[in-house]
Amino acid sequence: MTEQRQIKRREFLGTASAALSVPYFVPSGVLASPGKPGANDRITLAHIGVGGMGNGHLGRGLKFQELGLTNVAAVCDVDEKRLANALKRCADTNIQVEAYADYRHILQRKDIDAVIIATPDHWHGVQTVHACETGKHVYVEKPSSVTIQEGEAMIKAARVNNRMVQVGAQGRSGVPAYQTCRAIRNELIGKVKTVDCWHYENPIDENPVADSAPPPELDWEMWLGPLAWRPYNQRYCHATFRWLLESGGGQIRDRGAHQFSTILWCMDADDQVSFTVKATGTPPTKGLWDCPPIMDVTYQFKDPDWTLIWSQPGRKAGKTEFGQVFHGENGSLLLEWEGARKWAEPEAVNFKVPPGGFDPYTPNLYDDFGMNHMGEWLKSIKTSDHLPNVDIEIAHRTATLCILGNLAYMLGRKLEWDGAKQKITGDEHANRLLGKPQRHPYHL
């Protein structure tokens, strides 16, 4: 166990919280700034959350180090077993890193340029804001936030501190999504009027268990972080947090964040920020998880007019577990998954952009970083000539769809979202639910 991890929690909370109240001022040449990488022309990375998706991201970070693009300097997790696995993985590749149980120790390090955050969703907003405030660029897993309030704070922190924040909705870096976007934007099937998503149901906790003491390797207090305190239960974590509306939000906030991001890109609708949303669902009848197994959500956009439908399980149009169908005036076009790991339809693959037609921005298809979503983020840090392709503002607009879909389900009524004002029109009760209290000291 490192010296940093031996610091008593009570001693650290006061000093770390005070330190995070203002950005650090770092000597030039140590911390990478836009257009100016740090020492050795490499970006020094820290990985916060190294289980599940975070373990995959650690592998990517180590691969980028082999290519001479990064240095992996630190790993962090509230689960000692996951932390030990990450340390072993680094040691197996002859890379020495520091281990931490509390991410705030990492933010105090002036040698770290950027962090990769793959913690549970309820930590994304707070950790991203704190990282930006301390001069770190951020790659954060999707969905970008749990609440609208968090998303707004993330955008502000990225802009005020001039940090590159990429969100892990990798469909926009995928060749199938690129091919589909190219075909849709050039009206292969005419004007698209409806996009219909299907996805398998949220699971039900069929075998509920009683609350218990947390396992000895897990820091339950730190895992909860911004959430209201509650006793530990095996059904809360690790990956099962996804099936609680408070922290995970179900399939629509998980996979919906992928699918909606790709759909908005294909529809050229990133700036179409206002819409109405209505939702219905069937709540579970047993167990701890409260996300509705069956759910239908309809979004209506204006100028141009089109409809986005999310359905669990919906009408399965493809061969795989989830996807979307674009219905146009002259036919339909299918895209499996979110467009990063499954094929595009042959008519999209073979489509040729007509003279004067639109060819989507494709940063990862033909450059030195290869077809890689994290590589696009590293490139944006190094060059500073463009925001990453799923910049936090784009990701917040996607997350807004997911968050309001769940909110419409919970309230049982149609909501009218004014994206310019970031408010629900004529519904003060609903507006009070766009943010929520966070526990001290784990708050914005």
Q: What is the pLDDT of residue 342?
A: 87
Quote the percentage of the chain above a pLDDT of 70. Answer: 89
Q: What is the pLDDT of residue 118?
A: 98
Q: What is the mean pLDDT of residues 432-436?
A: 96
Total domains present in the chain: 2
pLDDT in tens, 278-322: 999 999 999 999 999 999 999 999 999 999 999 999 999 999 999
Instruction: Compute CA distances 352 → 103, 182, 262, 358, whole Å.
Output: 48, 9, 20, 10
Does residue 361 lie within any of the structural domains?
Answer: no
pLDDT in tens, 52-85: 999 999 999 999 999 899 999 999 999 999 999 9
- Residues 391-423 as b or e (16 or more Cβ within 10 Å = b): bbbbbbbbbbbbbbbbbbbbeeeebebeeeebb
Identify the domain boundary among 170, 190, 214. Answer: 170
The structure's pTM equals 0.89
Specify whether 165 is located in the same domain as 184. Answer: no
pLDDT in tens, 108-125: 999 999 999 999 999 999
Specify whether 397 is located in the same domain as 419. Answer: yes
pLDDT at 32 over 70: no
Does residue 187 lie within any of the structural domains?
Answer: yes
Contact (Cβ atoms closer than 8 angstroms) between residue 141 and residue 377? no
Q: What is the pLDDT of residue 341?
A: 82
Specify whether 276 is located in the same domain as 222. Answer: yes
Identify the domain boundary among 150, 170, 190. Answer: 170
pLDDT band at 39 (very low <50, low <70, confident <90, very high): very low
Specify whether 258 is located in the same domain as 247. Answer: yes
Does residue 235 lie within any of the structural domains?
Answer: yes
What span, in angstroms and rounded, lies between the C-alpha atoms of 218 and 70? 29
Q: What is the pLDDT of residue 18?
A: 34
Q: What is the pLDDT of residue 179?
A: 93
Does residue 386 lie within any of the structural domains?
Answer: no
pLDDT in tens, 181-221: 999 999 999 999 999 999 999 999 999 999 999 999 999 99
pLDDT band at 386 (very low <50, low <70, confident <90, very high): confident
Specify whether 240 is located in the same domain as 118. Answer: no
Q: Which of 267, 46, 212, 240 is nearest to 135 (CA)?
A: 46
Does residue 439 lie within any of the structural domains?
Answer: no
pLDDT at 20 over 90: no
- Domain containing 68 equals 3-170
Specify whether 147 is located in the same domain as 213. Answer: no
pLDDT in tens, 155-177: 999 999 999 999 999 999 888 99
**No. of H helices and E strands in the chain?**
14, 14
pLDDT band at 364 (very low <50, low <70, confident <90, very high): low
Does residue 381 lie within any of the structural domains?
Answer: no
Specify whether 92 is located in the same domain as 233. Answer: no
Domain CATH code at residue 134: 3.40.50.720
